[in-house]
Amino acid sequence: MLPKGVALDSIPARLKLYEKCRYKRASKIQEFSRLTGRDLGSGPPIDVESMTHYNFSHDEWDYSSQMLREWEWSQNPNLLWRMPTAFGPMPGPRQDHYGRPRDNSKGTFKTASIKFRTSRTVLENMLPSKSNLKFATPDTTAYATFAVTQLDNMEWLGGKGYNHFGLYIHGIQHTATDGSTVHGTYLPVLFENLADPILSGRDELGFPKLFADLNLTKGTDKWNLQASWMDSEFCKLTLSDLQDAPASNGTAAAATTTTATEASEHAPAPPKDTGLFVHKYFPATGPAGSKERGQPDVEYTTFLSNAEDAKTAERKVERTLKAGSAAISFDALDWKALPTLHHIVARLQEVPVYEVVEAKIVEGSGVSDVGPMKRLG
């Protein structure tokens, strides 16, 4: 309880903790001693087995060490817990093992994106049925972006990185129970090639993350993405004829808004996307046939504001490349080749590309921790 270098102002609390750890046990051992030392034949018989078990099946050092850990955790409200909880608070992209914010300024990103015009109905079918999400304006077409990002030099991963690839649907509106509205981009699925960000993003924020192998190869004038699961390739994305373009510190490729010139001449341009929507869902635990099975333990929409997200790390765009041509294709294969992803890839395969609006690569530093994600009413 009193290691070398302990802060003086914490000593009273640590002494109380010592008393908490020792008082009950010491008192009970004292009582055992009194019972053992009394005159034979007086009082009820002694349960020697119970007394011996209590005395010798306990390691005070290990017990007190855990009590100290739990007390230290309770003193820090910034610690964040995720499974497995038995080992204490879990560090992650938004906090270190002391609960302190991460420094994301040195992280780097390279994002290749294809923004395109497509069928509004196909995209609308991907909006969660139990949500207040819908397209902000009426039209037969809509805009979406397929984007793959390579992250590197991430502090929370010991300087290493990972890739993620997702579909971003623009022009979405959320209407709260009080009638207020928020406009943004909806993310129905995000593939990543590392378990740690998948778990932290799903548990803490509700991101719809899944595992996939994301092989990103880069040449002088071409970028290729091959997405696969256990050697079963289901997507290929290519940006070629790359030319340097003026760099700017604009919003991320995945959050690009639809302009008035891109909208149908018969429909108004949608409001500016101000952030990112995801729909958080965790199923309840229960055996087959029970009323719990198939029901959500948690289900609600969350929103990441572009303005709030920008405060977590200064994003510096260092290079932008415009692609002269771009292509993306999906192959859902079958349930044997993609036993956990076939139904998802099959839906992505249905998304038509009527027209490529913009294809580019953006490189820079400063990676957001997406921590300001909040629940919508």
Using DSSP, state whether 106 is helix, strand or coil: coil
pLDDT-based confidence at residue 43 (cuts at 50, 70, 90):
low
Token pair 């395969």: residue: 349
Give the model's pLDDT for residue 269: 67
How does pLDDT run across 295-307, given as a tens digit for each residue? 999 999 999 999 9
Give the DSSP letter string of 22-88.
Answer: HHHHHHHHHHHHHHHHSPTTSSSPP-HHHHHHHHHS--HHHHHHHHHHHHHHHT-TT----S-GGG-
% pLDDT > 70, the chain = 92
How does pLDDT run across 220-270, given as a tens digit for each residue? 889 999 999 999 999 999 999 999 987 555 444 443 333 433 444 555 566
Q: Which domains does the chain have, with CATH numbers?
A: 13-79 (no CATH), 108-375 (2.40.400.10)
The arithmetic mean of pLDDT across residues 64-69, rounded, is 96
Whole-angstrom distance, CA of residue 296 vs CA of residue 309: 28
Check if the beta carbon of residue 150 is closer than 8 Å to that of residue 110.
yes
Whole-angstrom distance, CA of residue 86 vs CA of residue 372: 27
% pLDDT > 90, the chain = 78
Whole-angstrom distance, CA of residue 142 vs CA of residue 124: 9
Could you tell me the sign of the dihedral formed by the alpha carbons of 256, 262, 263, 268, in that order?
positive
Give the model's pLDDT for residue 50: 85
